[in-house]
Amino acid sequence: MTDLSTLFRLDGRVALVAGAASGIGRAAALGLAAAGATVVCADLNREGAEETAREIGNAESHLLDITDQANVTRVVEDIQRRHGRIDVLVSTPAVNVRKPLLRYTAEEFDKVLRLNLKGTFLIAQAVGRVMSREKRGSIILLSSIRSVTVEPGQGAYAATKAGLVQMARALAAELGPDGVRVNCVAPGVVETPLTEPIKSQPDWYNAYASKNALGRWAKAIEMAGPIVFLASDAASYVTGTVLFVDGGWTAIDGRFTPPV
């Protein structure tokens, strides 16, 4: 019989968080640790990953470049040696070059796809192989509202976030028989280093806040709960889906309130 009191607990599980130095990755690491997981904080920003690990108290950190396949392999193998398992993967790293597609250079396009899509593929593939052998696990990829709605200047970023959804669905189909679940979290507007340029422009910042049903931006820590849910047994029958955590952005038009 299922113990409902422990549905959201992650005691005894090992969680790898790629991008744990800041933003949603840091929030995910803190949330998973609070739920009982042993958390491995990994990031290209090694000092930031170490700081998050120190904040947790009993976590470890790794230098991780998810675009470097050899580095990804070394980190995953090291975690296996130390812990004998990987139960949860959260992958958050992303970059955005905000400009119209007709002004994009080939190098800028490659930069966005290399990190957002290829990098996520490399870490998901490496950890997915481990989970497939262990016959258990939860992979959580960070998509975005931009996977379904876009605006000028977000074309390449949106393409990668939509691509992540289909990649997650394919992984869910392929790994499901092995007991591995794969899902996406799709945040709305969240205050992170990635969105800092918008926060510095009040008109832009306020326009985004007024677009969603709650009328505000999210704090990064508000992404922790949905991520813990997908990592836990509370989501044991949830795979191949997208959990929108967007304050209602994709549910409403938000541009005009009719006089009704």
| Ranges of each domain in the chain | 4-190+219-243
pLDDT in tens, 8-33: 999 999 999 999 999 999 999 999 99
Over 70: is that where the pLDDT of 224 sits? yes
CA pair distance 135, 130, nearest whole angstrom: 9
Residue that the structure tokens 């209602």 belong to: 248
Over 80: is that where the pLDDT of 71 sits? yes
Over 80: is that where the pLDDT of 247 sits? yes
Torsion sign over Cα 82, 85, 87, 91: positive
Over 90: is that where the pLDDT of 160 sits? yes
- What confidence category does residue 199 fall into, taking pLDDT thresholds of 50, 70 and 90? confident
**Which of 26, 22, 250, 241 has the alpha carbon at shortest distance from 141?**
241
- Range 181-185 average pLDDT: 99
CATH number of 4-190+219-243: 3.40.50.720
* Active-site option among 104, 157, 205, 237: 157
Residue 106 exposed, middle or buried by CB count within 10 Å (0-12, 13-18, 19+) = exposed
Confirm whether 208 is a catalytic residue: no
Is 49 within 8 Å of 61 (Cβ atoms)? Answer: yes
Chain mean position to CA 142: 3
**Which of 149, 156, 164, 67 has the alpha carbon at shortest distance from 112?**
156
Element (H, E) at 130: helix 120-134
Over 80: is that where the pLDDT of 180 sits? yes
Which pLDDT value is given to residue 254?
66
Over 90: is that where the pLDDT of 36 sits? yes
Average pLDDT in the chain: 95
CA pair distance 165, 258, nearest whole angstrom: 34
Over 80: is that where the pLDDT of 258 sits? no
**Which of 34, 201, 247 has the alpha carbon at shortest distance from 26?**
34
Q: Name the pTM for this structure.
A: 0.96
Is 115 within 8 Å of 94 (Cβ atoms)? Answer: yes
**Which of 160, 168, 159, 174 has the alpha carbon at shortest distance from 141?**
168
